[in-house]
Structure 1
Amino acid sequence: MSIAEQPCYTLINTSQDLEPPTEMQLREDLEKGNDKAKAEALRKLIVMMLNGEKFPSLLMIIIRYVMPSQNHTIKKLLLIFWEIVPKHTGDGKLLQEMILVCDAYR
């Protein structure tokens, strides 16, 4: 089943008049930003992923730089992110990065 065919159980309303950030802008905010910048970048990333964009290269960035945060807002956004991010490869095997996520939450 492709992403376009999968049901979407999460709906987030956004204004369409803003230009979406590039992957490099998101990467920089997630790596080097403070908690407020990380939360805003994660929020934008979630909305863009729900709109069908794919960002497989940002998965490790989120695991390395965002998951260790103790900020409550970031933790809540991460729970939404883990719900919508693809967890399996094209052939149905679990992504190696998901094992890191499970270990981090243990």
Structure 2
Amino acid sequence: MPETIEAKILSDADKLDAVGAVGVARAFMQAGKAGAPLYSNADIETYKRTNLDENGRCIKEKLHAANLEYELKLKRIGDRLFTPLAQTVFEQRIRFMDMFFAALRKEITGTDLRSL
């Protein structure tokens, strides 16, 4: 746990690198490196029981996907931030990620075409 304000700012900056547009890019880069699919329709609770160990780490990386990383980890980064400014930046960036992954889900499942 960082004690000084400088250490808290550095910790927050490191965490903020994982969210927003850069966070989306990093999540897809990691998924691609692992040979994971572009998107997973897995039920989150089932996925947690079957592919996460007791420490929350993936058992089979190939079953992981960027959207699962977002749902299971990235959305919760705000809970570990120390400064009000970092929280504000996080909220802005996570809104972008919410919209991105919602749009991705709609396009992949074809639900974006239902209103046409």
Q: TM-score, normalised by structure 1?
A: 0.36
Q: If each structure's helix is expressed as a fraction of its own residues, which one has the higher value?
A: 2
Query: Larger RCO: Structure 1 or Structure 2 (Cα < 8 Å, ≥ 6 residues apart)?
Result: 2
Question: Which entry has the higher C-alpha Rg, 1 or 2?
Answer: 2
